[in-house]
Protein backbone atom coordinates (compact mmCIF):
# COMPACT_ATOMS: atom_id res chain seq x y z
CA UNK A 1 0.00 0.00 0.00
CA UNK A 2 1.37 3.41 -0.98
CA UNK A 3 1.74 6.17 1.61
CA UNK A 4 -1.04 8.10 -0.12
CA UNK A 5 -3.44 5.17 0.17
CA UNK A 6 -2.45 4.70 3.83
CA UNK A 7 -3.29 8.36 4.38
CA UNK A 8 -6.68 7.96 2.68
CA UNK A 9 -7.51 4.86 4.73
CA UNK A 10 -6.54 6.61 7.96
CA UNK A 11 -8.70 9.62 7.06
CA UNK A 12 -11.69 7.35 6.43
CA UNK A 13 -11.10 5.71 9.82
CA UNK A 14 -10.70 9.15 11.43
CA UNK A 15 -13.94 10.36 9.83
CA UNK A 16 -15.79 7.34 11.16
CA UNK A 17 -14.33 8.00 14.62
CA UNK A 18 -15.52 11.62 14.66
CA UNK A 19 -18.97 10.67 13.31
CA UNK A 20 -19.39 8.05 16.04
CA UNK A 21 -18.18 10.57 18.63
CA UNK A 22 -20.91 12.99 17.55
CA UNK A 23 -23.52 10.20 17.62
CA UNK A 24 -22.65 9.15 21.18
CA UNK A 25 -22.62 12.80 22.32
CA UNK A 26 -26.14 13.20 20.97
CA UNK A 27 -27.25 9.84 22.43
CA UNK A 28 -26.06 10.89 25.90
CA UNK A 29 -29.12 13.11 26.08
CA UNK A 30 -30.00 16.23 28.02
CA UNK A 31 -26.75 16.99 29.86
CA UNK A 32 -24.87 20.32 30.04
CA UNK A 33 -22.60 20.84 27.02
CA UNK A 34 -19.55 21.50 29.23
CA UNK A 35 -20.16 18.21 31.07
CA UNK A 36 -20.21 16.28 27.80
CA UNK A 37 -17.07 18.09 26.61
CA UNK A 38 -15.18 17.36 29.84
CA UNK A 39 -15.89 13.63 29.76
CA UNK A 40 -14.99 13.42 26.07
CA UNK A 41 -11.64 15.14 26.65
CA UNK A 42 -10.90 13.31 29.90
CA UNK A 43 -10.96 10.00 28.02
CA UNK A 44 -8.68 11.47 25.31
CA UNK A 45 -6.30 12.72 28.02
CA UNK A 46 -6.08 9.25 29.60
CA UNK A 47 -5.43 7.49 26.28
CA UNK A 48 -2.88 10.06 25.03
CA UNK A 49 -1.19 10.02 28.47
CA UNK A 50 -0.48 6.32 27.88
CA UNK A 51 1.16 7.09 24.51
CA UNK A 52 3.33 9.87 25.96
CA UNK A 53 4.54 7.64 28.81
CA UNK A 54 5.12 4.66 26.49
CA UNK A 55 7.28 6.73 24.09
CA UNK A 56 8.99 8.56 27.01
CA UNK A 57 8.11 12.01 25.65
CA UNK A 58 7.41 15.22 27.57
CA UNK A 59 3.84 15.47 28.84
CA UNK A 60 3.60 19.23 28.35
CA UNK A 61 6.00 19.76 25.47
CA UNK A 62 8.99 22.03 25.16
CA UNK A 63 9.22 25.39 26.92
CA UNK A 64 9.61 27.35 23.69
CA UNK A 65 6.34 25.90 22.35
CA UNK A 66 4.15 26.71 25.37
CA UNK A 67 2.40 29.77 23.94
CA UNK A 68 1.42 27.85 20.81
CA UNK A 69 0.29 24.78 22.78
CA UNK A 70 -1.79 26.97 25.09
CA UNK A 71 -3.37 28.88 22.19
CA UNK A 72 -4.11 25.69 20.26
CA UNK A 73 -5.70 24.16 23.37
CA UNK A 74 -7.82 27.24 24.18
CA UNK A 75 -9.12 27.52 20.61
CA UNK A 76 -9.73 23.78 20.39
CA UNK A 77 -11.69 23.77 23.67
CA UNK A 78 -13.99 26.56 22.51
CA UNK A 79 -14.44 24.78 19.18
CA UNK A 80 -15.56 21.54 20.82
CA UNK A 81 -17.95 23.27 23.24
CA UNK A 82 -19.70 25.05 20.36
CA UNK A 83 -19.68 21.87 18.25
CA UNK A 84 -21.26 19.78 21.00
CA UNK A 85 -23.94 22.42 21.53
CA UNK A 86 -24.71 22.37 17.79
CA UNK A 87 -24.83 18.55 17.84
CA UNK A 88 -27.45 18.62 20.59
CA UNK A 89 -29.64 21.20 18.87
CA UNK A 90 -29.36 20.41 15.14
CA UNK A 91 -29.71 17.52 12.74
CA UNK A 92 -26.41 15.68 13.22
CA UNK A 93 -25.26 16.04 9.61
CA UNK A 94 -26.09 19.80 9.64
CA UNK A 95 -23.85 20.33 12.69
CA UNK A 96 -21.11 18.22 11.13
CA UNK A 97 -21.14 20.03 7.79
CA UNK A 98 -21.03 23.47 9.42
CA UNK A 99 -18.01 22.29 11.41
CA UNK A 100 -16.44 21.20 8.11
CA UNK A 101 -16.13 24.84 7.09
CA UNK A 102 -12.91 24.89 9.11
CA UNK A 103 -10.56 24.03 6.15
CA UNK A 104 -11.85 27.07 4.24
CA UNK A 105 -11.47 29.31 7.29
CA UNK A 106 -7.97 27.93 7.87
CA UNK A 107 -7.00 29.35 4.46
CA UNK A 108 -8.23 32.81 5.55
CA UNK A 109 -6.48 32.64 8.95
CA UNK A 110 -3.25 31.40 7.35
CA UNK A 111 -3.33 34.35 4.98
CA UNK A 112 -4.01 36.88 7.77
CA UNK A 113 -1.78 35.53 10.55
CA UNK A 114 0.87 33.46 8.77
CA UNK A 115 1.12 35.70 5.69
CA UNK A 116 0.46 32.75 3.38
CA UNK A 117 -0.90 33.91 0.04
CA UNK A 118 -4.48 32.81 -0.66
CA UNK A 119 -4.71 31.75 -4.28
CA UNK A 120 -7.56 32.78 -6.55
CA UNK A 121 -9.16 29.33 -6.71
CA UNK A 122 -9.10 29.12 -2.88
CA UNK A 123 -10.98 32.43 -2.61
CA UNK A 124 -13.55 31.16 -5.14
CA UNK A 125 -13.96 27.94 -3.11
CA UNK A 126 -14.47 29.93 0.12
CA UNK A 127 -17.24 32.00 -1.51
CA UNK A 128 -18.94 28.86 -2.86
CA UNK A 129 -18.74 27.17 0.55
CA UNK A 130 -20.25 30.25 2.21
CA UNK A 131 -23.23 30.11 -0.18
CA UNK A 132 -23.69 26.44 0.71
CA UNK A 133 -23.69 27.39 4.39
CA UNK A 134 -26.60 29.78 3.84
CA UNK A 135 -28.70 26.90 2.47
CA UNK A 136 -28.06 24.85 5.61
CA UNK A 137 -28.69 27.72 8.04
CA UNK A 138 -31.64 29.28 6.13
CA UNK A 139 -30.93 32.50 8.07
CA UNK A 140 -33.74 34.30 9.84
CA UNK A 141 -33.74 36.65 12.82
CA UNK A 142 -34.89 34.24 15.54
CA UNK A 143 -33.51 32.12 18.38
CA UNK A 144 -33.66 29.12 16.02
CA UNK A 145 -30.57 30.52 14.29
CA UNK A 146 -28.41 30.32 17.46
CA UNK A 147 -27.46 26.61 17.13
CA UNK A 148 -26.41 27.24 13.51
CA UNK A 149 -24.23 30.15 14.65
CA UNK A 150 -22.71 27.80 17.24
CA UNK A 151 -21.91 25.38 14.42
CA UNK A 152 -20.15 28.14 12.49
CA UNK A 153 -18.26 29.27 15.62
CA UNK A 154 -17.12 25.66 16.12
CA UNK A 155 -15.55 25.84 12.65
CA UNK A 156 -14.01 29.27 13.36
CA UNK A 157 -12.26 28.08 16.54
CA UNK A 158 -11.28 24.75 14.97
CA UNK A 159 -9.69 26.65 12.07
CA UNK A 160 -7.81 28.79 14.57
CA UNK A 161 -6.54 25.66 16.29
CA UNK A 162 -5.46 24.13 12.95
CA UNK A 163 -3.65 27.37 12.04
CA UNK A 164 -1.66 27.19 15.28
CA UNK A 165 -0.92 23.52 14.56
CA UNK A 166 0.65 24.65 11.27
CA UNK A 167 3.00 26.84 13.31
CA UNK A 168 3.81 23.93 15.64
CA UNK A 169 4.51 21.69 12.64
CA UNK A 170 6.88 18.91 13.66
CA UNK A 171 8.03 20.66 16.84
CA UNK A 172 5.99 18.35 19.09
CA UNK A 173 4.82 14.73 18.87
CA UNK A 174 1.15 14.36 17.99
CA UNK A 175 0.32 12.48 21.20
CA UNK A 176 1.91 15.26 23.28
CA UNK A 177 -0.26 17.83 21.49
CA UNK A 178 -3.40 15.70 22.01
CA UNK A 179 -2.59 15.17 25.71
CA UNK A 180 -1.85 18.87 26.28
CA UNK A 181 -5.12 19.90 24.64
CA UNK A 182 -7.19 17.24 26.42
CA UNK A 183 -5.62 17.97 29.82
CA UNK A 184 -5.99 21.76 29.37
CA UNK A 185 -9.68 21.53 28.43
CA UNK A 186 -10.41 19.12 31.30
CA UNK A 187 -8.86 21.50 33.86
CA UNK A 188 -10.53 24.60 32.38
CA UNK A 189 -14.00 23.03 32.16
CA UNK A 190 -13.94 21.27 35.53
CA UNK A 191 -15.13 24.31 37.61
CA UNK A 192 -18.07 24.85 35.22
CA UNK A 193 -19.00 21.17 35.36
CA UNK A 194 -18.94 21.26 39.18
CA UNK A 195 -21.29 24.28 39.16
CA UNK A 196 -23.76 22.80 36.67
CA UNK A 197 -23.22 19.08 37.18
CA UNK A 198 -26.20 16.85 36.49
CA UNK A 199 -26.24 13.22 37.70
CA UNK A 200 -25.86 10.71 34.90
CA UNK A 201 -27.40 7.33 34.32
CA UNK A 202 -25.00 4.45 33.66
CA UNK A 203 -26.12 4.48 30.03
CA UNK A 204 -25.21 8.16 29.63
CA UNK A 205 -21.78 7.63 31.22
CA UNK A 206 -21.08 4.72 28.85
CA UNK A 207 -22.09 6.86 25.85
CA UNK A 208 -19.70 9.66 26.90
CA UNK A 209 -16.85 7.20 27.47
CA UNK A 210 -17.45 5.80 23.99
CA UNK A 211 -17.55 9.36 22.61
CA UNK A 212 -14.11 9.95 24.14
CA UNK A 213 -12.69 6.72 22.72
CA UNK A 214 -13.97 7.43 19.20
CA UNK A 215 -12.82 11.07 19.43
CA UNK A 216 -9.31 9.88 20.26
CA UNK A 217 -9.44 7.48 17.31
CA UNK A 218 -10.44 10.41 15.10
CA UNK A 219 -7.69 12.70 16.44
CA UNK A 220 -4.93 10.12 16.09
CA UNK A 221 -6.19 9.01 12.69
CA UNK A 222 -6.18 12.47 11.11
CA UNK A 223 -2.81 13.40 12.65
CA UNK A 224 -1.07 10.24 11.41
CA UNK A 225 -2.81 10.44 8.01
CA UNK A 226 -1.18 13.81 7.29
CA UNK A 227 2.20 12.33 8.12
CA UNK A 228 1.75 9.86 5.23
CA UNK A 229 0.47 12.34 2.64
CA UNK A 230 0.02 16.13 2.30
CA UNK A 231 -3.38 17.48 3.30
CA UNK A 232 -4.00 18.91 -0.18
CA UNK A 233 -3.80 15.38 -1.65
CA UNK A 234 -6.13 13.56 0.72
CA UNK A 235 -8.19 16.08 2.77
CA UNK A 236 -11.22 15.64 0.47
CA UNK A 237 -11.76 12.18 2.02
CA UNK A 238 -12.33 13.74 5.45
CA UNK A 239 -15.75 14.86 4.17
CA UNK A 240 -16.85 11.22 4.41
CA UNK A 241 -17.75 12.19 8.00
CA UNK A 242 -20.85 13.92 6.65
CA UNK A 243 -21.95 10.73 4.87
CA UNK A 244 -21.50 8.75 8.09
CA UNK A 245 -23.34 11.44 10.08
CA UNK A 246 -26.24 11.60 7.62
CA UNK A 247 -26.69 7.81 7.82
CA UNK A 248 -26.46 7.90 11.62
CA UNK A 249 -29.01 10.77 11.71
CA UNK A 250 -31.50 8.69 9.75
CA UNK A 251 -30.91 5.29 11.41
CA UNK A 252 -30.46 6.30 15.07
CA UNK A 253 -32.39 9.55 15.39
CA UNK A 254 -34.90 9.45 12.54
CA UNK A 255 -33.65 12.88 11.44
CA UNK A 256 -33.69 13.44 7.68
CA UNK A 257 -31.95 16.59 6.40
CA UNK A 258 -34.25 18.81 4.35
CA UNK A 259 -33.67 19.40 0.65
CA UNK A 260 -32.01 22.80 1.19
CA UNK A 261 -29.54 21.31 3.68
CA UNK A 262 -28.69 18.51 1.26
CA UNK A 263 -28.12 21.11 -1.46
CA UNK A 264 -25.84 22.96 0.97
CA UNK A 265 -23.87 19.76 1.65
CA UNK A 266 -23.38 19.24 -2.09
CA UNK A 267 -22.23 22.84 -2.64
CA UNK A 268 -19.73 22.78 0.26
CA UNK A 269 -18.41 19.38 -0.83
CA UNK A 270 -18.13 20.67 -4.41
CA UNK A 271 -16.09 23.64 -3.18
CA UNK A 272 -13.73 21.29 -1.38
CA UNK A 273 -13.51 18.98 -4.42
CA UNK A 274 -12.77 22.03 -6.62
CA UNK A 275 -9.84 22.94 -4.33
CA UNK A 276 -8.66 19.33 -4.40
CA UNK A 277 -8.61 19.26 -8.22
CA UNK A 278 -6.89 22.66 -8.51
CA UNK A 279 -4.20 21.56 -6.04
CA UNK A 280 -3.59 18.42 -8.11
CA UNK A 281 -3.33 20.52 -11.28
CA UNK A 282 -0.83 22.81 -9.55
CA UNK A 283 1.29 19.82 -8.54
CA UNK A 284 1.36 18.53 -12.14
CA UNK A 285 2.26 21.97 -13.48
CA UNK A 286 5.14 22.23 -11.03
CA UNK A 287 6.44 18.74 -11.78
Q: Three-state SS across 210-233? A: HHHHHHHHHHHHHHHHHHHCCHHH
State how far the alpha carbon of 120 is from the alpha carbons of 127, 136, 255, 287, in Å. 11, 25, 37, 21
Distance separating alpha carbons of residues 80 and 71, to the nearest angstrom: 14
Residue 142: pLDDT band with limits 50, 70, 90 = low
Residues 32 and 24 sit within 8 Å (Cβ to Cβ): no
Q: Indicate the Cα dihedral angle 37, 51, 240, 116, nearest 10°.
A: 90
Angle formed by the axes of helices 66-89 and 3-27, to 10°?
Answer: 50
- Return the domain boundaries, the chain: 3-286
pLDDT digits (tens, 9 = 90+) for 85-126: 999 999 888 898 898 888 788 888 888 888 878 788 888 888
Distance separating alpha carbons of residues 126 and 58, to the nearest angstrom: 38
Q: Given this model, what pLDDT does residue 231 score?
A: 64
Amino acid sequence: MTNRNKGILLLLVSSFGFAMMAAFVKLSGDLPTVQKTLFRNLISAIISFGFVIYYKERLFGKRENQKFLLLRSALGTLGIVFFFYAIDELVLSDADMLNKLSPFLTIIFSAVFLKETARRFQIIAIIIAFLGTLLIIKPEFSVDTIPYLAGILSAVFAAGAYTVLRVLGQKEKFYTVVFYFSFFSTVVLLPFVIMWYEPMETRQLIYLILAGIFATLGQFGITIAYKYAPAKEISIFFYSTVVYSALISIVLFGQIPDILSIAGYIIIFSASFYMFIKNKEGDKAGA
